[in-house]
């Protein structure tokens, strides 16, 4: 066998592979926070999570505000919609909330006054107060859900299916 002739190296391919493997600094994020460079990819990822999280919180709050509730109240109603028919006790609701509310009792009081939930006693433990979503609460969620779905589509619409799966996996690892 004859030795093959040496091929000239392609700096373009090397640059493309290096960029793909090492990655580029996030230009949109740098522009958003008006920072030229991050000290590390971890710092860029951390700041990116903060920026995206705050953006989503503000957008979610705006959707909920149009319906007369806060995003924490929306989350509480969403939890109760998925609860068993007998409802959830206060401690269970507190454990499931995305944003830790300092006073779940006041949240429940307000939603009760608005007619979106009802409270009663657990059938097997009369000392345990439980909350259940009402038909009015379900109707409110039915009105809010399409706007939340549109926000999800707007936020994640640029991602491919595999990218969404990767994101879900990453978020699962980062979830406390």
Tell me how many domains the chain contains: 2
Asked whether residue 78 falls in the same domain as residue 148, the answer is yes
| Residue span of the structural domain in which 89 resides | 69-152
Torsions phi, psi of 84, nearest 5? Answer: -65, 165
Q: Are residues 137 and 111 in contact, defined by beta-carbon separation less than 8 angstroms? A: yes
Tens digit of each residue's pLDDT (9 = 90 or more) over 89-124: 999 999 999 988 778 999 999 999 999 999 998 888
Confidence of residue 34 (pLDDT cuts 50, 70, 90): low
Asked whether residue 51 falls in the same domain as residue 118, the answer is no
Name 100's Cβ contacts closer than 8 Å, sequence gap at least 6: 94
Name 126's Cβ contacts closer than 8 Å, sequence gap at least 6: none
Asked whether residue 86 falls in the same domain as residue 140, the answer is yes
Asked whether residue 135 falls in the same domain as residue 146, the answer is yes
Provide the whole-model pTM: 0.76
């Amino acid at each position: 066998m004859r030795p093959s002739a040496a091929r000239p190296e392609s700096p373009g391919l090397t640059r493309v592979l290096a960029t793909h493997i090492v990655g580029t600094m996030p230009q949109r994020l740098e522009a958003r926070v008006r920072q030229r460079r991050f000290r590390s990819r971890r710092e860029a990822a951390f700041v990116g999570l903060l920026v995206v999280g705050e953006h989503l919180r503000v957008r979610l709050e705006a959707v909920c505000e149009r319906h007369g509730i806060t995003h924490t109240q929306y989350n509480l109603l969403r939890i109760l919609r998925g609860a068993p028919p007998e409802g959830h006790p206060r401690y269970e609701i507190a454990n499931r909330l995305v944003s830790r509310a300092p006073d779940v009792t006041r949240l429940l009081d307000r939603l009760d006054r608005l007619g979106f939930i009802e409270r009663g006693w657990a059938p097997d433990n009369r000392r345990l107060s439980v909350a259940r979503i009402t038909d009015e609460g379900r109707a409110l969620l039915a009105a809010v859900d399409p706007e939340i779905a549109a926000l999800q589509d707007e936020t994640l619409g640029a991602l491919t299916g595999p990218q969404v799966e990767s994101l879900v996996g990453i978020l699962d690892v980062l979830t406390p």
